[in-house]
Each structure stands twice: as C-alpha cells, then as structure tokens.
Chains A and B, each alone.
Chain A
Amino acid sequence: MAAARRHKRMAASQPGFLPLKSNLDGDSFNKKLRKRVNKNKKKNWNKFSDIQDVEEFLDDVRLQERATGGLISERTDDSLFFVDIGEKDEKDKDTQLQTTEKGKRSKPLRIDLILQSNSHIPAPKNVLAFQQPNAKKQRRTLERVAKSAAKGILPRREKLLQLRRAAAASGVSAKERPEAKNNPNRAFYDLWCAGTPETADPYYLEQTKKKLVKRPDRLNEKPSVLPAIEVIAPGGSYNPDFFSHQDLLREAHEVEVKKIKVEEKLARRLAVKEDVATAESTFKEQVEGLIEEEEIEPEDPEVDTEDTVIGPTATQEKKTEKQRKKEKAERIKELQRKAERRVIDKRQQLFQLRSISANLKKQEQRTKMRQAQRKAKQEAQKSMPRRLGRLKFQTPELDVQLSGELASSLRSLKPEGSILKDRFLSLQKRNIIEPRERAKVKRKYKAKYSEKRAFREIQ
C-alpha cells in the first residue's frame, strides 16, 4: 500500500498527468471527518487507512498500460494524434491488402477475435515452467564430467559405446538381443532353405546345448482326424436352396427336441408325487384300526401246530463201518462211471466232427465280427472329442437362421454366431486343448450391502 501511495504521489506531482477517470468524489472524501484510531497496531493501519483513491489510480495506470502500452502522459504527441487528411485512401488500401493476400477474403472468425488478447503487456512468464528440477545437481555433474574429460577419463556409458563401435568396426558383432516376434518389421529369411550344414563336433554341440533335442515322431501326429476347418452344411448358405435349408433346420430341431426330452425327464423324476395328504386321508389314518371292519378276516389256514419243532431236528448219529464202506464204494463207482463216460464222449466226438467244426467256425466268426466292431469303434473314436479334463466337450448349438430371418440380399445379411468361438471350440473338438470354463470369482466373505444416507433420503 505504501508503495502504491508513493507511486501516486510521484505521478501526480508530474506536470502533464491526466487521469483517465475523473475523480469526482475526491472532494467529498476530503471533507469527511477522520475517525481517530490508534495507529500503533498494524491491524488498524489496514483497517482504517482509506486507499481507494490509490487503488483507482493504480487501476487507471494499469488500464492505460494495457490499452496503449504505457502511460499516455509519457507519450509524445505524434504518437497520440495524427493529421486527418481523409479516410478514403486508407480504406481502399485496407481492402486491397485483404483481397490481394489470397484469392478469397480470409476473414478471421469472430470467435477467434474475441479470444485474442488485446493487452499490450505481455503475459508474465511462468517461472516454474522454465525451472529444471535438480538443475544445480545436473550442472555440477556436467562440470565434473567436463573436468574428468579434460583429464581423459570417459564416463562408463561412453566407454562402452566406444568399445562396441570398435568391435563393430573390427567385424566382431556384438551379442544381439532377440527381437520380439510380433515386431512387424523384423528381418526376413527362408526358414526351410538348406543352410550350411553344421561342421562342429556333435558332442560339443550336444553338451553346450546348441543342438536341439530331436522331436519324437509321435508328436507330429494330429490328435484327431477332423479337418481344421469344418465347412458349414449347404443349408447354412446366406441364400440357401430350400431343401438343404430345411435339412439344416430339421437337424437343429432334432437337437432341440432331444434337449427338451432330457429336461422333461429330469422334471418328471424330480416331481413331487401326487399322494398329498387330504383331510379325508388324514382322518382315515387317525381312525385306522379303531373301527371294526365288516370284512371277515381270512381264517387262518389249517396249520398243524403239533408237528412244528424249533431247532435242529436230526441229531448226528455215528455211521457204522458198513455204511462208510458202502459210501466209499459208491463214490469210486461214480468216478469210474464218469471216466468211462468221458472216454465214450471222446470217441463219440469223432462222429461229431462236423458239428464241432461248425461250432468252431461260428466262434471264429464271432471273434472276427467283434474285432471289426472294435476297430470301427476305434476309428470312430479318432474323430470324437476325448475326455481330457474335468469338463466334457459340449457340442455347440447349430448356427441356423429361420426362414423368416434369411436375408434377402448380401447387404442386409446378419451373420450368425461368432467365428472366434467357433475356432475355440474346434480346437477343443480336435483334442488340442482341454475344454475349459471361465473361472468363477470366489469371495471369501459375503459382500455386504449398505445404503448410503443420501440415497435413502431420496427414497
């Protein structure tokens, strides 16, 4: 404030000072009685000293500086006034200038004009923008580097660079870093051209891991016989033949029917059985046995109770010597009989040769048939998706468009299904990757929901 006041005094004391805004209330201000206040406190200085005149003056100065680039009072007369000779010439010149610059008049947009700064004072520079962080430190390091360079000591990076250059010049190539494989502009070469055969010792190559291990042939077999690209049925054409389209639709329909059947079956099995308790049935249950029924109980069948004995009946009696001998003789006789029978049978088989051979043939045929069946099954298995993990491969739904959905022209065609998903499933179907599902996000704790107060207030 003090400075401003001083400034004002200085300007006012100068002879040709013209304030832009005439100060009308200056006189009334002087006449006012001054309020007495203690001026021994800084707070009061600020509070009770009236500085409006100074501020207005300073505003005026700033306005002048902005509008004209300096105080008008300091300007020479020539710069403020001119002799009015006539307007016409200048206007012409102006228009000429504008038209000659280009074929058409290039008039700046009004919006740009508005936004243009019309101040004569340049905007202050942002000091911070030009400041460098760590400038001092960097300057010091530069100085140090310069000093050491004068002595002939180079920094490490420089040294390495020079070494590399020297190596490159002498022909010894530095170790190359492998390039990223998806770099679009990496060098080209033929992978399958017959390069120069390796001349080094194979044992050396093997031990230094420069020779790759041979890939087993088994790995070059494909895990499925299915083709990589399975072309959609002719009914999947964008403008299909009527019957092939119907075929495809029928196929899709059958799949759908099967699915519905399974669902129905499940529902049927899970259904609650129909015998739900009614009032009548509960009552019946309660009185069960209390009411004497008219039906005559079936009379007990005649049971001879006198003969029934509980427990073992026959007590073991010791066999006599005679009995034992008899049994033994019988046993031997039986064995003999059987042996004889066997011999006779064998002899008889000679006459059954035909039927035996027929039997054999039948058996052979059966094994052959079974072998063929097994083989066919194995062949079929080759094209089937295998069970490779926790999940089974699910055949995707057929992509079809109903007759109403078919596009009338290529332009209005709406593609069905996603090729990305198709490719993914094809990889699964060909046993290249195992079927997977998206991992579910597991929460350790249950999420807790709470309403914010602001939200509650609205409701």
Chain B
Amino acid sequence: MGGLQKKKYERGSATNYISRNKARKKLRLSLADFRRLCILKGIYPHEPKHKKKVNKGSTAPRTFYLLKDIRFLLHEPIVGKFREYKIFVRKLKKAYGKAEWSGVERLRENKPAYKLDHIIKERYPTFIDALRDVDDALSMCFLFSTFARSGKCHVQVIQLCRRLSVEWMNYIITSQSLRKVFLTIKGIYYQADVLGQTITWIVPYQFTHDHPTDVDYRVMATFTEFYTTLLGFVNFRLYQTLNLVYPPKVSCSNCLDGQGEFSFKSECEEDYALESESYSEKLSALSASLVRTVPSVDEEEVELDHFPVEGEDLEKMEAREKIELELNKQKKLFEGLKFFLNREVPRESLAFVIRCLGGQVSWDKSLCIGSTYDETDETITHHIVDRPSIDKQYINRYYIQPQWVYDCVNGKILLPVEDYFLGVTLPPHLSPFVEESEGDYVPPEKLKLMALQRGEKPQAAAAEEEEEDEEEEEEEDDEEEDDQSEGEDEAEDEENLAEMEAKRAQGKSLSVKVTPGKAKPENRMRAYQEEKAEEKRLAIMMMKKREKYLYDKIMFGKKRNVREANKLAAKRKAHDEAGKADKKKKKKKC
C-alpha cells in the first residue's frame, strides 16, 4: 500500500497523441501553415484506438496527431521559412499602408522562398520510391495544366504543370511504355509501365471545367506544389535513363529536309504562336521526337539471356518470354502506319497514343503547331474522323473513328477496321482494367477480342455484321459457335477448340461408309484423364466431414458463378436477338 496516487491521462495513449490545435501552438504556426507543413512533410492525422482516453475524458471529435510526428516536425527548416513569410507579409502590408513604394519594392525583392528538394529526398530515399508514388503527382499535374487562367491558382503553377505533363508524355512516347487506355465519362485513364512500375493516371477531357465549390483549393495547391517538385526530379531522372537531353529538345531532323520547307514551316509557326511560346507549344504537339545526348544507335532487339533451367522454372521462363514478345509487338503496333487527325477528334490524346505505339501522326496546319504532313498526302493509311460523313474521301486510306486507336492499344493487336468505319455503330469500349477470373461473366465482345488475339479469324462475327438477313439455320450455327466459344472459355485451351472444330467437321461429312479402322491416338489421353477423374472422386469420398463441407461450399460457389455468367450470357443473346429482330422489322418497313 502506498505510493503516490496515479493521475489520470498522464501516461499511455493520452501522452502519445496531441490534438491539432496543441500541435499548431507547439510549432507556432497558423492553421493554414500547419496544414501546408503536414502535407509537404507527409504527416497524416491519426485515429486513436481509445478516443476517450486520448481526449482526456471528452468524447468531442477532434483531429489527433502522433506526438512523435509533431516533434519530428519541429526540426524542419521550412517552419522557419513559414514564419519569415508571415513577417514578410506583415511588413509588406505596413509599407503599402504607409505608401512607401521604395520599401515595397525592396521587400518584394527579398521575398522569402523555400525549396522542397530536401523533403523529397527525405520522403523518397530512392528513385523507385518516388516512382511508386508518382500516380498522384501525375493526375494532379494533368488536372492543373487544364485549368483556365482564372484566379483559382497562380498562372505560373499552371504553366509549370503543363510543362511537366508534356515532359512526361514525351518520355512515355520515347520509351514506348504505354499499356492501357480507358476512355470514361470522367476522363481518360492511362496506364504505363515505367522501369517496372505500373503507373496509372487520369487526364481530364479538354474544356470541362466548372470549378466545384466544395473543394479546398489551398490544400490542392499545396499538394500540387509538392507534386510538381517531385515530378520535376522524376522527369529529369527518367530523361537521363534514356539519354535524352533535359530540358527536352525537339529534334529538327525533319526540318532539315529542304530549305524551302523549313521556311514555310517557320512562317506557319509565326501564325500560330509567339516566338517565346512556340518552342513549348511545339513540344506539346507531341509530333516530333526528342534529341538524345548520345546519338542513338538503331535500337537492336535486346534479347533475354537464356539460362538452362528445368521444371517449373522453365514454364515460368516460357511465360515470361511470351509476355516479352507480346510487349514488343504492342510497342511496334502502329509502326509504318500514317495517321491523319481530323479537327474534331481529341488531338493531344490521340497523338500521344499513336506516337506511343510507333505510328506517325499529323493534323491540319491550322489546328495546331507541329503538323508534319498534309491531308493530301498519298501515303496516309488511316484518317481518324468523328463525324457521320465526310465529303472528300481518298480511296487509299481507311476512314475510322477514334475508338479504334484506343481499342487497338488495349487489345494489343490491330483490330479489323470494318467495325470502326465512318457512321458504323461502334462496338462497346471495354475496360482494360478488368481482369475476369474463371467463371465470371465475360462480355461477348471481349471473347471475340480474345479469339482475335489468339490469331483466329472472326468469320462468323464478320458475317453477322455484313449480312443481316440470314437464314435461320445460319443463326443456329452461330449459336452453336457461341456455345462452343463459351466452352472454350471454360477450358481456356486452344487445342481443345481445334479438336472440337475438327470433330464438328467430321460430324458434318459423316456418311454411310465403312472405313478401315484406325488406332485411336487419343485413347491414351482419355485413359489418363479417366484415371485422374477417378482419383479425384476417391479423394472426395475420403474427405473428412468438415473438409467435405468446405469443399462442397467452394464447388457450390463456383457453380453459382458459372450459373450467373450463363444467365447473363443468355440474357445478352436474347437482347441481341431482340435488337436484330428490330432491325429486320425496320428493314421490312423500309
């Protein structure tokens, strides 16, 4: 017995946390400055486990920080800068009030400024750390670069964001690392693979801004301040990895073709932008490639090293090689193709995507700076148009809708252009970010795409598109094929399909004939499979009651998934048929 009585709230969680107001007072900062500091340093509020204890018995909702975090903040040199800035503002106000203009000028010259370099180094000790966190930075930069020059943020910030985002896009183009694009009702999602990191970002459509009122612009501006610094360093490093000159320079190889052309071009540029701006505008046109510090040797295929491996590793290796091959194919998808953008399509996005896949792109001279060839160029292969019809058409090029480009990126193959011709109802634009697991519902368009990727000809589909009034039989045929495709989906095996195909062909050509007997080559396979099935059945029988229960549950879940998928597929078919019937009716009426 005895000793001092323990006081409440003097140990434990009550001392580990500090309320925001107290932290603010400890740092001697205003609330706005405190917020800014926390954002820059990456210190987040924390929800304590026992709020009432931390809050000294009160249950009022408060924002808490960890005391250690705040102590860490005390060492930050920027805090001093914030205080200096506060004093600067005070002095400036005073000078204004007294109309001491020379004083104002002197103060302005000595305006305190701070750098964030050390914070970035501190928060991201290695380059890869920074790259992992660049998603946010990119989205914010792309967003701010589309802002109008209104009073919502400084013009300089907008310009900086624009510069950084253009640099990023140029890097992605040069490194050809774009993987996925998704056009949504919100904006355009891009996904790229940069130095092994998957980076996703969203870009708003142009001219879509109404400034929402319930967003704290000051907070967002602080984030942008940090992210622009981060992105600047990341860009610099990325350019270095590719031996590109930083700040980026447009290579003038195409300008040097002929003197006459060059002068003509410069004249155009004068029309478009001021001399001081034309450089950055040209860069943002994304049509020209960048200058390298080391003149690039014709890029030779970097082949993966082969190591003698066995068993599982071999399989993995093969899979990896397959992926690598696919990637290379995707990178060179548009190589040799020449695109021309009509003026109603989103120029920047399309130019970015096309150039990422190695295509050439141009547009009307009056649309934007940096067009490389005219509409009349005979070598143009694809003309991207987004209007119902066009007056003057050239025979030797495809007139297609912009979705084709994006779908090609996602499908990793050149899709048949027929579905995307002018005035044709487009197939749905599927999300490349969805990965269906086995047994899920897969939209038929995706199935078609997967078949195309495997290199099969979509005859049935094409026929469906072209000939609308088909015979009933043919429709049945289609259905059969559909069924089969579903089956194949479950099996996920190409060979299986081929087998079935062959079987069907046999079945059709079946005639009453006696043929010499053949040794069945698949017998062995079947026996093996049967044996396996038998083993499985026995294993199930041998299961303990509890395990059996679990197993049944799992199987039931799987079956349910399949059932639902089937239901959806059936629904879709019904829907399609209804659509077809409507079409027929319309045709009859016509």
**A452 in the interface, Cβ–Cβ < 8 Å?**
no
Indicate which residue in A413, A423, A438 contacts B139 across the interface (CB closer than 8 Å): A423
A168 nearest CB across to chain B (Å): 19
Chain B residues with CB under 8 A of A232: 182, 184-186, 189, 431
**B246 in the interface, Cβ–Cβ < 8 Å?**
yes
A375 nearest CB across to chain B (Å): 15
B258 nearest CB across to chain A (Å): 27
**B88 in the interface, Cβ–Cβ < 8 Å?**
no
Q: Which residue of A has the minimal Cβ distance to B208?
A: A415
Within B410-434, the residues touching A (CB, 8 Å) are 426, 428-431, 433-434
Chain A residues with CB under 8 A of B136: 228-229, 423
**A94 in the interface, Cβ–Cβ < 8 Å?**
no
Q: Are A244 and B187 in contact (CB under 8 A)?
A: no
**B25 in the interface, Cβ–Cβ < 8 Å?**
no
Interface SS of A by simple majority: loop
Knowing A182-B228, A241-B430 are in contact, say whether A409-B61 is a contact too (CB < 8 A).
Answer: no
Within B83-135, the residues touching A (CB, 8 Å) are 110, 113-118, 120-123, 126-127, 129-130, 133, 135
Say which one of B10-18, B214-222, B455-463, B466-474 lies at the interface with A: B214-222
- How distant is the Cα of A237 from the Cα of B184 in the complex, in angstroms? 4
**A354 in the interface, Cβ–Cβ < 8 Å?**
no
Say which one of A106-114, A308-316, A386-394, A443-451 lies at the interface with B: A386-394
- Total number of A residues with any Cβ neighbor in B under 8 Å: 68
Within B426-484, the residues touching A (CB, 8 Å) are 426, 428-431, 433-434, 441, 443, 445
Chain B residues with CB under 8 A of A401: 185
Q: Are A237 and B246 in contact (CB under 8 A)?
A: no
Say which one of A73-81, A129-137, A209-217, A318-326 lies at the interface with B: A209-217
Q: Are A411 and B387 in contact (CB under 8 A)?
A: yes
Knowing A220-B123, A231-B200 are in contact, say whether A413-B205 is a contact too (CB < 8 A).
Answer: yes
Q: Are B429 and A427 in contact (CB under 8 A)?
A: no
**A380 in the interface, Cβ–Cβ < 8 Å?**
no
Chain A residues with CB under 8 A of B336: none
Say which one of B308-316, B322-330, B567-575 lies at the interface with A: B567-575
Knowing A215-B123, A241-B445, A243-B443 are in contact, say whether A437-B185 is a contact too (CB < 8 A).
Answer: no
Q: Are A233 and B47 in contact (CB under 8 A)?
A: no
Q: Are A242 and B186 in contact (CB under 8 A)?
A: no
Indicate which residue in A215, A413, A420 contacts B185 across the interface (CB closer than 8 Å): A413
- How distant is the Cα of A178 from the Cα of B118 in the complex, in angstroms? 13
**A223 in the interface, Cβ–Cβ < 8 Å?**
yes
- How distant is the Cα of A239 from the Cα of B46 in the complex, in angstroms? 41
Chain A residues with CB under 8 A of B236: 188-191
Q: Are B429 and A238 in contact (CB under 8 A)?
A: yes
Chain A residues with CB under 8 A of B115: 178-179, 181
Q: Are A234 and B75 in contact (CB under 8 A)?
A: no
Chain A residues with CB under 8 A of B401: 409-410
- How distant is the Cα of A242 from the Cα of B573 in the complex, in angstroms? 12
Knowing A192-B126, A238-B429 are in contact, say whether A219-B143 is a contact too (CB < 8 A).
Answer: no
**B68 in the interface, Cβ–Cβ < 8 Å?**
yes
Within B350-379, the residues touching A (CB, 8 Å) are none
Indicate which residue in B75, B126, B387, B428 contacts A242 across the interface (CB closer than 8 Å): B428
**B338 in the interface, Cβ–Cβ < 8 Å?**
no
B105 nearest CB across to chain A (Å): 14
Say which one of B156-164, B495-503, B507-515 lies at the interface with A: B156-164
Say which one of A6-14, A284-292, A428-436 lies at the interface with B: A428-436
A103 nearest CB across to chain B (Å): 19
B385 nearest CB across to chain A (Å): 10
Knowing A229-B200, A244-B443, A415-B208 are in contact, say whether A182-B160 is a contact too (CB < 8 A).
Answer: yes
B476 nearest CB across to chain A (Å): 23
What 1/0 mask marks residues of chain B from 202 to 229 whose CB sits below 8 Å from any chain A CB?
Answer: 1011001111111110011001010011
Q: Are B185 and A390 in contact (CB under 8 A)?
A: no
A28 nearest CB across to chain B (Å): 64
Q: Are A422 and B186 in contact (CB under 8 A)?
A: yes
- How distant is the Cα of A357 from the Cα of B236 in the complex, in angstroms? 68
- How distant is the Cα of A178 from the Cα of B430 in the complex, in angstroms? 49
**B386 in the interface, Cβ–Cβ < 8 Å?**
yes
**B27 in the interface, Cβ–Cβ < 8 Å?**
no
Knowing A215-B72, A399-B186, A409-B386 are in contact, say whether A233-B431 is a contact too (CB < 8 A).
Answer: yes
Q: Are B431 and A184 in contact (CB under 8 A)?
A: no
Say which one of B37-45, B520-528, B551-559 lies at the interface with A: B37-45
- How distant is the Cα of A432 from the Cα of B186 in the complex, in angstroms? 23
Knowing A213-B72, A229-B139, A388-B47 are in contact, say whether A234-B186 is a contact too (CB < 8 A).
Answer: no
Knowing A182-B154, A188-B236, A236-B184 are in contact, say whether A241-B428 is a contact too (CB < 8 A).
Answer: yes
**B584 in the interface, Cβ–Cβ < 8 Å?**
no
- How distant is the Cα of A416 from the Cα of B187 in the complex, in angstroms? 9
Q: Are B237 and A190 in contact (CB under 8 A)?
A: yes
- How distant is the Cα of A217 from the Cα of B340 in the complex, in angstroms? 52
Knowing A219-B43, A237-B428, A418-B210 are in contact, say whether A389-B220 is a contact too (CB < 8 A).
Answer: no
**B67 in the interface, Cβ–Cβ < 8 Å?**
no
**A419 in the interface, Cβ–Cβ < 8 Å?**
yes
Knowing A179-B113, A220-B123 are in contact, say whether A243-B344 is a contact too (CB < 8 A).
Answer: no
Knowing A184-B160, A232-B186, A434-B45 are in contact, say whether A420-B228 is a contact too (CB < 8 A).
Answer: no
B158 nearest CB across to chain A (Å): 10
Chain B residues with CB under 8 A of A389: 45, 61-63
Chain A residues with CB under 8 A of B212: 418, 420-421
- How distant is the Cα of A418 from the Cα of B200 in the complex, in angstroms? 18
A230 nearest CB across to chain B (Å): 9
Q: Which residue of B has the minimal Cβ distance to A388?
A: B45
Indicate which residue in B68, B110, B113, B140 contacts A423 across the interface (CB closer than 8 Å): B140
Knowing A238-B183, A239-B426, A431-B45 are in contact, say whether A410-B402 is a contact too (CB < 8 A).
Answer: yes
11 extra interchain contacts, Cβ-Cβ under 8 A, other than A177-B110, A229-B139?
Answer: A178-B114, A182-B160, A182-B225, A183-B156, A228-B139, A232-B185, A236-B185, A237-B183, A242-B575, A244-B431, A410-B403
- Between-chain CB contacts (< 8 Å), 13 pairs: A177-B110, A182-B157, A191-B117, A219-B69, A228-B135, A234-B430, A234-B431, A237-B430, A241-B443, A242-B572, A387-B47, A417-B186, A431-B44
Interface residues of B (CB under 8 A from A): 35, 39, 42-47, 61-63, 68-69, 72, 75, 77, 110, 113-118, 120-123, 126-127, 129-130, 133, 135-136, 139-140, 143, 154, 156-157, 159-160, 163, 182-187, 189, 200-202, 204-205, 208-216, 219-220, 223, 225, 228-229, 232-233, 236-237, 240, 246-247, 344-346, 386-387, 401-403, 426, 428-431, 433-434, 441, 443, 445, 568, 571-572, 575
Query: Nearest 10 A-B pairs (CB), nearest first?
Result: A234-B431, A228-B135, A386-B47, A241-B428, A213-B75, A416-B185, A239-B429, A389-B63, A411-B386, A231-B433
Interface residues of A (CB under 8 A from B): 177-184, 188-192, 209, 212-213, 215-216, 218-220, 223, 227-229, 231-234, 236-244, 386-390, 399-401, 409-411, 413, 415-424, 427, 431-434, 436-438
